């Protein structure tokens, strides 16, 4: 009976309402905002510590120290990419957006219970991909392994559909004048990105399952992950940075044409992704070069306008008269910041993340210009992909999670601010040691072979460093949640 009720609340009722089979009024919109579904946070951390950074640690160690690679190596690479993008970054994005967007738009989530279904299904997809792909790598054609992989593909696709249903309903009902309007084009881009990346990922997993193969078709699998980075991660990060950084970092409010910029960014991405599919060959590559150059330029324009790195503009507080601080109860706030240091130096992680994004923009622009001139792009896709995902995405998350999650769950601070700094240092070291050896490999002078060897060892430890960074975040969030809520006395 309980399962039936869960199914009704989670799937059947929203679906019936969405398709118009349930009369309006039979499913009233909740009046209060839903609390954060903590399952998103814990499943994201579990995905990162196992198939994400856990697998990365193993993969990099084998590659960097030139140890033998087994049959499961390539399938594990694919599982790692999927778990990092859709699990680690994706689940955080889902959880935070389902918390924030209804609050920005002033309309509570229509079916809050659906949130549980989303993180459970995504967690099942991670587990299924890991088990199914590794099983099939040992026994190609094994029916049970193929079944697990197929079910994992379906679970991932269904999770994305449920998320889209929930978020689209919140966005559709958002009044025009609300704080969401300026960043809405980014959120709509992200909805399209989820749909495309999710559909491609599901399709590729189902196809591999039907063939009984451990490996998904590489071009479609990679396209799904690259679409996730360009159309989900970046637009969502842009939207949340514009809305929250003035509050968290006292940046100036966005007074530049954000909506036209969002359309320009989308057009640049279309030029980057579509031409090789529409016109394979030289023409497609040249038009793609134009897309890459425009996208790289757009990223640099965004970083410049956000003003996090250079701080050229006056903070929004310069225009306000703030009440004097209650010195009896608190120490003074940090210079230029609204907090007392109770979230660690999270701003350094955000700056490091945007530095990675600026670098990615520069390299993308460089590659684009090279393609337009008909020469080979100097920067390899793997280095750029990790600059976006391990550099920008992961550092942003390692900085934003300790700043936001305590407030979402009624705590005023993180349990250990020093762990935020430690995870930041480890995360930055992981990103640099993951990206630099691959990006710089073609440029290392052959006269010094020791440089190549040490660079390879650096790569070999990068996954372990990333794992430690996430472990610090998990420990810190666990201890923060174990602390009493603001206003409650410890037992």
List of residues contacting ligand HEM (CB under 6 A) = 56, 59-60, 63, 77-78, 80-81, 84-85, 88-89, 221-222, 225, 382, 385-386, 389-390, 393-394, 430, 434, 462-463, 466
DSSP H helices, 27-181, are 38-47, 53-64, 73-82, 90-105, 114-138, 143-172
Token duo for residue 77: 């690479």
d(CA 84, CA 77): 11
Cα(225)–Cα(221) distance, integer angstroms: 7
- Minimum separation from the CB atom of position 83 to ligand HEM (A): 8
CB of 315 to ligand HEM, least distance (A): 31
CA distance 260 to 388: 23
Tell me whether residue 180 or residue 395 sits nearer to ligand HEM (CB atom): 395
Least distance (Å) between residue 412 CB and ligand HEM? 30
d(CA 461, CA 433): 8
State in angstroms the smallest separation of the CB of 124 from ligand HEM: 20
Q: What angle do CA 68, 429, 229 make, to 5 degrees?
A: 80
Nearer to ligand HEM, 136 or 390 (CB): 390
- Our CB check for ligand HEM shows the closer of 222 and 412 to be 222
CB-nearer residue toward ligand HEM: 133 or 305: 133
Element (H, E) at 475: helix 449-482
Nearer to ligand HEM, 84 or 305 (CB): 84
User: Smallest distance from the beta carbon of 436 to ligand HEM, in angstroms?
Assistant: 11
Whose tokens are 């349930």? That residue is 22
Q: Which is nearer to ligand HEM, 47 or 127 (CB)?
A: 47
**d(Cα 100, Cα 102) in Å, to the nearest integer?**
6
Q: How far is the CB of 293 from ligand HEM (least distance, A)?
A: 23
- Least distance between ligand HEM and beta carbon 428 (Å): 10
- In the block, residue with structure tokens 């449920």: 162
Q: Measuring CA to CA, which residue among 352, 328, 485 is closest to residue 409?
A: 485
User: In angstroms, rounded to a whole number, what is the distance separating the alpha carbons of residues 48 and 471?
Assistant: 9
Q: Considering beta carbons, is residue 171 or 469 the nearer one to ligand HEM?
A: 469
Q: How far is the CB of 6 from ligand HEM (least distance, A)?
A: 31
Q: Which is nearer to ligand HEM, 209 or 249 (CB)?
A: 209
Question: For residues 97 and 394, which CB has a smaller minimum distance to ligand HEM in the complex?
Answer: 394
Separation of alpha carbons 339 and 418, rounded Å: 15
Residue whose CB is less far from ligand HEM, 89 or 165 = 89
- From CA 66, how far away is CA 57, in angstroms rounded? 14
CA 216 to chain centre: 22
CB of 228 to ligand HEM, least distance (A): 8
Instruction: Report the residue number whose CB is nearest to ligand HEM.
Output: 81
**Cβ count near 270 (within 10 Å):** 13
Q: Which of 204, 232, 303 is nearest to 261 (CA)?
A: 303
The two tokens of residue 284 are: 């497609």
Query: For residues 30 and 17, what is the distance between their CA atoms, to the nearest angstrom?
Result: 15
Q: At its nearest, how many Å lie between ligand HEM and the CB of residue 485?
A: 31
């Amino acid at each position: 009976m309980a399962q039936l009720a869960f199914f009704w609340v989670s799937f059947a009722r929203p679906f019936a309402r969405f398709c118009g089979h349930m009369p309006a009024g039979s499913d009233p919109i909740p009046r209060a905002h839903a609390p954060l579904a903590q399952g998103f946070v814990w499943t994201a951390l579990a995905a990162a510590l196992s198939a994400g950074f856990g697998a990365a640690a193993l993969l990099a160690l084998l590659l960097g120290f030139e140890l033998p690679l087994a049959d499961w190596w390539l399938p594990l690479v694919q599982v790692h990419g999927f778990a990092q993008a859709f699990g680690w970054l994706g689940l955080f994005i889902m959880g935070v957006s389902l918390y924030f967007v209804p609050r920005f738009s002033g309309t509570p989530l229509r079916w809050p219970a659906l949130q549980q279904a989303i993180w459970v299904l995504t967690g099942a997809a991670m587990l299924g991909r890991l088990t199914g792909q590794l099983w099939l790598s040992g026994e190609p054609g094994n029916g049970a392994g193929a079944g697990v992989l197929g079910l994992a593909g379906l679970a991932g696709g269904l999770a994305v559909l449920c998320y889209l249903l929930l978020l689209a309903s919140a966005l559709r009902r958002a009044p025009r004048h609300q704080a969401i309007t300026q960043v809405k084009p980014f959120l709509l881009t992200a909805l399209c990105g989820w749909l495309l990346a999710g559909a491609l990922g599901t399709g590729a997993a189902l196809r591999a399952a039907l063939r009984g193969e451990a490996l998904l078709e590489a071009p479609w699998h990679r396209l799904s992950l690259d679409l996730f980075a360009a159309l989900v991660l970046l637009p969502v990060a842009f939207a949340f940075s514009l809305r929250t950084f003035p509050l968290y970092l006292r940046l100036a409010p966005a007074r530049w044409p954000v909506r036209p910029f969002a359309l320009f960014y989308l057009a640049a991405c279309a030029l980057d992704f579509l031409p090789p599919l529409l016109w394979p060959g030289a023409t497609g590559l040249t038009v793609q070069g134009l897309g890459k150059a425009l996208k790289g330029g757009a990223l640099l324009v965004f970083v410049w306008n956000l003003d996090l790195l250079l701080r050229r503009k006056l903070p929004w507080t310069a225009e306000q008269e703030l009440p004097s601080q209650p010195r009896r109860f608190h120490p003074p706030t940090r210079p230029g910041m609204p907090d007392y240091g109770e979230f660690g130096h999270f701003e350094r992680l955000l700056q490091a993340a945007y530095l990675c994004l600026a670098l990615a923009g520069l390299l993308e622009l460089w590659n684009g210009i090279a393609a337009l001139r008909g020469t080979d792009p100097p920067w390899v896709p793997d280095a750029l992909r990790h600059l976006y995902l391990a550099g920008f995405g992961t550092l942003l998350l390692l900085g934003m999670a300790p700043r936001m999650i305590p407030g979402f769950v009624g705590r005023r601070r993180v349990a250990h601010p020093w762990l935020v700094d430690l995870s930041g240092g480890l995360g930055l070291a992981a990103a640099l040691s993951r990206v630099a050896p691959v990006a710089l490999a073609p440029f290392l002078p052959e006269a010094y072979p020791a440089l190549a060897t040490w660079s390879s060892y650096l790569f070999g430890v990068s996954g372990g460093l990333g794992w430690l960074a996430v472990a610090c975040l998990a420990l810190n969030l666990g201890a923060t949640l174990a602390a009493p809520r603001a206003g409650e006395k410890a037992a």
